[in-house]
Amino acid sequence: MNTIVRQNYPVEKLPEDLQKVGEKSDGLRVIVEAVPAPVSEAKLRELLALARNIEPIGDDPVERIRQLRDEWDD
């Protein structure tokens, strides 16, 4: 995410609606951040459908560990 920070930014350079916030100040710290676009409900449903169709991993890690452990018991 991109962030722009300006220290002691002159109040008179701000848009009129924001100048009211800093009326009694010589300068402000202004932080501008890009906000990611929200994901649509349709896209979420599409991703969920894809996830449901994925085959489970055939490799069971617990079983693998048991086999390795049992090799040492022999």
pTM: 0.43
CB burial of 38-58 (b: ≥16 within 10 Å; e: otherwise) equals: eeeeeeeeeeeeeeeeeeeee
Q: Using 50, 70 and 90 to split pLDDT, how confident is the model at 74?
A: low
pLDDT tens per residue, range 20-33: 876 777 778 889 99
Summarised one tens digit per residue, pLDDT across range 9-55 is 888 888 888 888 767 777 788 899 988 889 899 999 999 999 898 87
Residues found in the chain: 74
36 neighbors 1 (Cβ within 8 angstroms): yes
Q: Which residue has the higher pLDDT, 62 or 42?
A: 42
- How far apart are alpha carbons 6 and 36 in whole angstroms? 21
